[in-house]
Chain A
Amino acid sequence: MDAMDRLKTHMDGRLRELTKKRSEGVKVVGYAPGGYMPEEMVYAAGAIPVCLIRGGDHEPVAESGAYIPRFIDTFCRSQIGYRMLEDEPIYQLVDLLIVPITDQNMRAVAETWSFYTDVDVFRHGVPCNKEEAGYQYYLGGLLRLKDKLESFTGNKIEDGKLREAIELWNRMRSLFKEISLLRKGKRPPISGEEFARLSHASLIADPPVFVEILESLLEELKKKEGAEIAGPRILLTGSTLAMGDYKVFPLVQGAGAEIVIEEFAEGIREYWNNVEPNGNLIEAIAETYFKKRVPPAWFSPSVDRIDFVLDLAKDFGVEGILWYQLLYRDAYDMQTPYFEKMVKEKADLRMLKVESDYDISERGPMKTRIEAFIEMLGTR
């Protein structure tokens, strides 16, 4: 069985496995995506980290309207809707929800779950700048998170266990990086959509099993030669790429192009930097998760993000940028005017912004605009 098949089998049985573990007393700790909640700490506390990363469906968005006004980001509204609809089982398994407060949209998820559900919700803040004071604040939040996890699970987060977890996640990040870099070539062995699905699976799968599968997958991919990309190479960016929200991939492919690299604040695992598994481990985690991480658009200032995207575009031979905007994610929407100007001025790159509220009616206009954009890139 090849690695992807093994992954599918594992993911198919994951819900059953989580339910069983939970019935045996293991805590399931849900968390909001965004890369600011170190899964290593949950794992070291003997609990199971599960990211709330589903998206792309209209029903949860509509359902959320009964609980919160509609001017919240589409993905964040979905996280309220999935829980309230009660038809996405993983959302019902959560014993504790951890929400790093990054912006008002994410804060709305925490507030709504607190009021309407009986799930314990823990918030820890993510300052929006990388000054020393911001780092110290984030570090303080991790220490409070550590206390919370210990009291909630009844298990101490000991250095030995935390180091093991860090090493496991470091391996996962390194493997992702290696796989991602394989896409620099003319014949990427893995498509943009496959990579996104892999990233999403990593947020829910059993980490040791997933790392093992990833090891095999890397070996397989090294030997594989994908089809040559005939059309433009595209960088996909935005605030959130949710599990299930894959609609742009076939549209891009159908227009003759391929997404070769992506940059998202939420939904694509951060894999560029590892955590130093020595010294003060919580500080080492904060260093990687906060300081080294590329700032999302809700940081102020956040122009480093633009330089990071430009570097990616250069490294991966990108010819156009597709900006996938979710409705009401204001920080990203407000960054587009100067982002577009800078990528044009600094790298002569063109950008297309498409917007979604997880509504099927968007597909037609989105298709037309993506086709026109790719055609325009092809004629440059």
Chain B
Amino acid sequence: MYTEVFRLCGYEDDEIEKERPRIDKAFAKLGLEKEDMARAEKRLQENFDLGLQGVRKLLHVWMDELIALPLCREEYKTVIYSDWPLPGPMVMAIQRMSDDIYVGSIGEVLNLGMGIIFDKLTPILEAGEEAGLGVGKSHCALWQTHIGGITSGKIPVPDLMISPNWYCDQPAHADQLLAELYDIPTVYMDGVLDDQWGQWPEISEHMIGYMGDQMEKCIKKAEEVTGYTMTEEARQGGLQDTFALYLNFNTIVEMMAKADPQPISHADLNLAFWMFFTPLRKKELAMDGLATLIGETKARIEKGEGVVPKGAPRIYFGLRFAIDSAIFKMVEGLGLSPQVVFIDWMTPLEKTPPKSTRWADLVMEAFLRRGVVHSASGAIEYVKTYFKEWKCDGAILCWPYSCRPYTQPVMMTKKMLKEEFNVPVLLLEADAYDTRDYSAGQLRTRVETFAELLRMKKAA
């Protein structure tokens, strides 16, 4: 029933045959049935450029993760769950401690697999709501999915949860709820963002040091639970896993920001973005996918091919959607070119090498160096730098319904863009993790008008 879906995701037929017992078991646990396959085929064909081999490879990686997740209890000795905003290098280093350990960013895996590919996330979100992250209370949908995956029985109960509590506090509250109701061992990575307004790009050492200590505490707990020891090699490997992926991704981001017309869709690039926070079992395939995509993007630029007309208005688009690639297709289909999306691009200041020497501090410093993560003033500076560098025609800023940290600077950023760059700005309310929180039709109407406005302004 699913052969075609897997082919579209870059699997060879013999591979599908070999994996069939695992796929059957995983799909049964996830509740994926025959009728879901037809929908997945349609979505894959409509939302992705399957002519790009790099895209197929990235889809393959996500499909592998989706199969591994429900089976992790039977296939690994120890199961550990985490999710964004837990620093990628840490979870990837823990994953590298032994092949016996499964570490999963479960919300991301379910979003990309059950959301983007199968569009069957709602029962999981509803289970999360049922468990205590109620409807209409603006609880983070990523964590509704995280919790709902477990409480719905689709994925196993872990041996340990490593809960992030530094960039935003919702994950820790959600995990605490789960820990109390289901008695799951949990360790919290605490953190406080208390630098002063305008302080970024300077980052206080006390913040870095505290969060670094907290990260070490989590690693220690993971050592206790798994019985393995964190090695220097695993630490460096964790860093390498994250940054190697990011560097390749950034190569494409910069190529796209400079190119006219825009060579590939952000829907395709979206598949790579969410990998930075997810320990992957097939890291090599992810790297290969990105390398292939770099080559394919380059070839299109050289040929002058693109997914939007040459000279299309260029915008900054303020959100990545983890469950809905169609949004990017819609924006591009309306003739706008999202030059850079969300925080894909790294400003020169953000690229400054960290000063810290201890591994955990270095990881935290690199994260806090991102303006958006550090503070509202850092976030505003990020967009300001971006507009100075890339000189685009306007911006679509989004505030996600359930994300308190990210929403804070959005209206301030609009004010800054109007005053300092005199560009049109459209504000949209949406959600990166739950399609039920917005109406795609309404968003389309507003983007359509905005696109018209930008075209008129450009022509004037």
Contact = CB atoms under 8 A, between A and B. Distances in A.
Interface of A: 66-69, 71-72, 101, 103-105, 107-108, 110-112, 114-116, 121-129, 131, 133-134, 137, 140-141, 297-298, 300-303, 327-328, 330-331, 333-338, 341-342
Residue from the set B174, B176, B195, B401 with the largest chain A CB neighbour count within 10 Å: B176
A334 B177 contact: yes
Contact of A327 (B131, B137, B168, B179): B137
Q: Which 8 pairs show the lowest CB-CB distances between chains A and B?
A: A125-B192, A125-B194, A114-B197, A111-B376, A104-B404, A337-B132, A338-B180, A300-B172
A338 B133 CA distance: 12
Contacts of B132: 334, 336-338
B196 A123 contact: yes
B188 A300 contact: yes
Nearest to A100: B194
A196 B404 CA distance: 29
20 contacts: A101-B192, A104-B170, A107-B193, A108-B404, A111-B375, A111-B408, A115-B376, A115-B377, A115-B409, A123-B196, A125-B207, A128-B165, A133-B214, A297-B173, A298-B173, A300-B163, A300-B176, A330-B137, A333-B137, A338-B181
Given A127-B192, A338-B181, A104 B172 contact: no
Contacts of B139: 330, 333-334
A163 to B, nearest CB: 27
Contacts of A298: 169, 173
Contact of B138 (A116, A126, A328, A338): A328
Contact of B173 (A68, A111, A331, A342): A331
- Residue in B196, B207, B213 whose Cβ sees the most chain A Cβ within 10 Å: B196
Nearest to B375: A111
A149 B113 CA distance: 52
Contact of A333 (B134, B375, B376): B134
Contacts of A103: 169
Contacts of A327: 137
Interface residues on B, range: 35 or more
Given A108-B404, A111-B408, A125 B165 contact: no
B137 A69 contact: no
B411 interface: yes
Nearest to A302: B176
Contacts of B163: 300
Contacts, number: 144
B289 to A, nearest CB: 35
Contacts of B195: 123
Contacts of B411: 66-69
A356 to B, nearest CB: 13
B206 interface: yes
Which interface residue of A68, A108, A116, A328 has the most chain B CB atoms within 10 A?
A68
B145 to A, nearest CB: 15
Interface of B: 131-134, 137-139, 163, 165, 168-170, 172-177, 179-181, 188, 190, 192-198, 206-207, 210, 213-214, 217, 375-377, 380, 399, 401-405, 407-412, 429
A69 B410 contact: yes
A297 to B, nearest CB: 7
Contacts of A141: 194
Given A101-B192, A115-B376, A71 B404 contact: yes
B213 A301 contact: no
Contacts of B177: 334-335, 337-338
Contacts of B176: 300-302, 334-335
Nearest to B416: A115
Contacts of A334: 132-133, 139, 170, 173-174, 176-177
A337 B176 CA distance: 11
A111 B405 CA distance: 11
Contact of B137 (A110, A115, A328): A328
B168 A104 contact: yes
Contacts of A72: 404, 407
Contact of A128 (B169, B207, B376, B409): B169
A128 B213 contact: no
A57 to B, nearest CB: 21
Contacts of A115: 197, 376-377, 380, 409, 412
A327 B206 CA distance: 33
Contacts of A134: 190
A129 B196 contact: no
A121 B194 CA distance: 11
A122 B412 contact: no
Contacts of A101: 192-194
Contact of A300 (B133, B138, B165, B375): B165
B180 A104 contact: no
A104 B410 contact: no
A121 B173 contact: no
Contacts of B175: 300
B131 A337 contact: yes
A329 to B, nearest CB: 9
A25 to B, nearest CB: 25
Given A328-B138, A338-B177, 18 more contacts: A69-B407, A69-B429, A104-B408, A111-B197, A111-B408, A123-B195, A127-B210, A128-B192, A297-B173, A298-B169, A300-B190, A327-B137, A330-B137, A330-B138, A331-B169, A331-B173, A333-B139, A334-B132
A69 B399 contact: yes
A173 B380 CA distance: 42
A339 B133 CA distance: 14
A62 B184 CA distance: 41
Given A298-B173, A330-B138, A334-B176, A133 B407 contact: no
A10 B333 CA distance: 65
Q: Which of A116, A123, A140, A342 has the most CB of B within 10 A?
A: A123
B295 to A, nearest CB: 40
A67 B207 CA distance: 28
A124 B132 CA distance: 31
Contacts of A67: 411
Nearest to B175: A300
A66 B410 CA distance: 11
B399 to A, nearest CB: 4
A330 B174 CA distance: 9
B206 A140 contact: yes
Nearest to B174: A334
A355 B245 CA distance: 45
A333 B380 CA distance: 30
B149 to A, nearest CB: 17
B175 to A, nearest CB: 8
Nearest to A65: B411
B376 to A, nearest CB: 4
Nearest to B210: A137
Contacts of A137: 192, 206, 210
A67 to B, nearest CB: 6
Nearest to A148: B196
B181 A337 contact: yes
Contacts of B169: 103-104, 128, 298, 330-331
A335 B194 contact: no
Contacts of B165: 128, 300
B194 A124 contact: yes
Contacts of B408: 68-69, 104, 107-108, 111-112
Contacts of A336: 132
B190 A129 contact: yes
Nearest to B402: A71
Contacts of A333: 134, 137, 139
